[in-house]
Chains A and B, each alone.
Chain A
């Protein structure tokens, strides 16, 4: 190249954009010329470059492989390009991307001495491309992230982007993009999230939440869901928030599982701790007490620190020799649960050995390998229950022994089903074999005729009116046809509604007793009959003599004989009452009922008594005229007895008043005296057989104590009532009633 050309070339170079002109040196290349543009880019001046070897200039000014590329261009006389190259200027302010183009300058001889090294600023281009690539990558990353991600823009929180996962979490589709959050997810209204987002936007502070509960409309349903989330503000260069990056993962299943777990753990604890029976968890080979509730501590009479964490045998060494250890061992070995309703548990106390009854179960805890690693022990202190049952059993046993040794039969009768259940002894008494069934109807036919109606009536009044059933009657044995006397007592048992459900009681064989009684009564009857025989002739003689004395005008003899007759009558009456008693007890008093005028009978009785006793004034007050239907003789006997007593027990009093009248459809007879009265304690016993009031006052008063008993029996047979009202020292009033005629018929 000549000089003229050379200068021109250089000027051209400086003004154009060509970077450098490189000149081939022996081993390297030197910088022949540099363009203004290049100098501007690199921040170097011309002097620092011109004539310098390319390796002698600033480091990093050329790409590291520059020598190879230049040699190749030289050799092949072809062009080369290096792009992009990050050029760091000398002041290191800012690196820029450039593109380097190298082309050979071929002289006319075909040789190459100069190379054109041109550069172009491609910084903007490269950076933009990089950014786009990064952004795509980022978006892809976001899209594929297993978490929900999204970007909200602006104060209105417009959904700029949201990945598929986020849309799924929201239960929405892409249509929500570019909508404000509040419009896209209207269900968030009233929930805290919108406000949180606004706060993040306003304050520019990130916010993180864990397991936050949200109600999200998904598939048309408002679902409860739990999320972990992070809201990250996106800021511009000036630090102003322009949007929010949202990251969210749904943890609903996790939370639910956790909740369930918590629930089951807490319910297990509360089950264990608040259980109404003792619970204990034993673990490991040494049976370490891991959990024990208060009930168990109570059962063992131990403190918590004496139990928890300790091996069972250290807690209760007294278990050695008791069956529990064997059961536990078996459960450990077999993995089978074991339980027992009742077992005695002995435990040590400060005062010796205590005894409790327990019901218990052992449930093995089995690990994944099927090995027993622990046992849940449940136990209940049933001491009180067992002891009260023992008490009942003892009482029942005693009752059974009593019933058996008394040879009592027992019976239960269900009035509704008419089913009769009886004990073997009762079957025996009724003459049945023990395997035979007895029915109510056959029992009734076995009752002898004279008692059948009485028994049926008594059962009826027991069942209907709830009266106590207590009756003596005779029966004929089913096979042996033997007459046996029975005493049955019983009562009706009712349910809560008052319906009779069970009529039950006991039956006692009183045949022997009854036979004694019959013999006794027969004896009394015989005696009274025999006593009457001489009395008959005595009375006749007295009366014959009396009429003779009367005829001869012997007044003294007449009076004496009249008194003798009276005494015979008295004696006869005594004998008669004995006889009545025996007949009554044999059940052989038959009432001969007839219609008669009660006040006439009373007058007759008074007249008769007045014949022998003139000391008392017996009046009939304002009696009514009353017709009754009853046994005239028996009622007369009662009235006689009551007036007789009134006289007998009122030695000072003179007045006896007998009144009969109608009261409430019944006939009421009262006999009032002004005598010594009856002590309160005796009133209830007054109508009992042979009962006489024990008192010095009465010592001189004769009697057997059967008059009132007889009277009461007679009135009872008339379905009437008899009672007394009395005040000691002031007198007594005896009453009896007879039911209205229509009722007795």
Chain B
């Protein structure tokens, strides 16, 4: 089935990369650059299979956005992958409900595997 991947990133450069990574399997990548004011509206609108959030965003950070999704009730089943150039332990004090975490720079294959895993309901 076709997967729709909703990505919120603060590096515009990453749009093409994500699109290329996921183009092989025919996933649809919806990329947003810093458009994070209302994540629930985006989720509602695009109905993604998975949400990939960069942690460091202007405004609400990826963790906050994840919390919104996981607290929404309606969309909490959507898996969330958090990305950050900071290692995971920096955020380890708060549990925002993300299904997986990847440190930037990531390994392309690892990203694919993780995404595959959490979509299939087995968090890495």
Residues of A within 8 A of B (CB): 525, 528-529, 532-541, 543-544, 547, 568, 572, 576, 579, 583, 588-590, 592, 633
Contact = CB atoms under 8 A, between A and B. Distances in A.
A547 B14 contact: no
Contacts of B106: 536, 539-540
B44 interface: no
B105 A540 contact: yes
6 contacts: A529-B85, A532-B105, A536-B105, A536-B106, A537-B14, A544-B20
B105 A529 contact: no
Interface residues of B, number: 20
Nearest to A591: B89
Given A529-B86, A590-B93, A536 B11 contact: yes
A576 B17 contact: no
B92 A536 contact: no
A543 B105 CA distance: 11
Given A537-B13, A537-B17, A532 B109 contact: no
Nearest to B56: A529
Contact of A536 (B14, B93, B109): B14
A251 B90 CA distance: 107
Given A532-B104, A532-B105, A572-B105, A540 B17 contact: yes
A533 B11 contact: yes
A630 to B, nearest CB: 13
Contacts of A535: 104-105
Interface centre among B11, B14, B85, B108 (most CB of A within 10 A): B85
Interface centre among B17, B93, B106 (most CB of A within 10 A): B17
A633 B17 CA distance: 28
Interface in B39-96: 56, 85-87, 89-90, 92-93
A537 B108 contact: no
B10 to A, nearest CB: 8
Contact of B86 (A525, A534, A572, A590): A525
Closest 5 CB pairs of A and B: A532-B85, A539-B105, A536-B105, A543-B108, A536-B104
Interface centre among A525, A536, A543 (most CB of B within 10 A): A536
Interface in B7-22: 11, 13-14, 17, 20-21
Interface string B3-39: 0000000010110010011000000000000000000
B5 to A, nearest CB: 15
Given A532-B85, A540-B108, A572-B105, 14 more contacts: A525-B86, A528-B85, A529-B56, A529-B85, A533-B104, A535-B105, A536-B14, A536-B104, A540-B105, A543-B108, A543-B109, A568-B105, A589-B89, A590-B93
A261 B83 CA distance: 107
B2 interface: no
A127 B20 CA distance: 175
A544 B85 contact: no
Contacts of B11: 533, 536-537
Contacts of B105: 532, 535-540, 568, 572
Nearest to B109: A543
A529 to B, nearest CB: 5
A525 B89 CA distance: 14
Nearest to A542: B108
B92 A583 contact: no
A576 B87 contact: yes
A350 B69 CA distance: 100
Contacts of B90: 583, 588
Nearest to B12: A537
Interface centre among A529, A534, A568 (most CB of B within 10 A): A529
A455 to B, nearest CB: 21
A590 B92 contact: yes
A538 B21 CA distance: 13
A299 B106 CA distance: 89
A541 B17 contact: yes
A267 B11 CA distance: 104
Contacts of A588: 90
B20 A536 contact: no
A579 B89 CA distance: 12
Nearest to A580: B87
Nearest to A544: B20
Contacts of B20: 544
A544 B17 CA distance: 9
Contacts of A539: 105-108
Contacts of B14: 536-537, 540
A543 B89 contact: no
Contacts of B93: 590
A157 B95 CA distance: 126
Contact of B21 (A540, A579, A583, A633): A540
A569 to B, nearest CB: 8
Contacts of B17: 537, 540-541, 544
Contacts of B109: 543
A540 B104 CA distance: 10
A638 to B, nearest CB: 15
Contacts of B21: 540, 544
Nearest to A631: B89
Nearest to A532: B85
A590 B89 contact: yes
Contact of B89 (A528, A529, A592): A592
A83 to B, nearest CB: 153
A568 B106 CA distance: 11
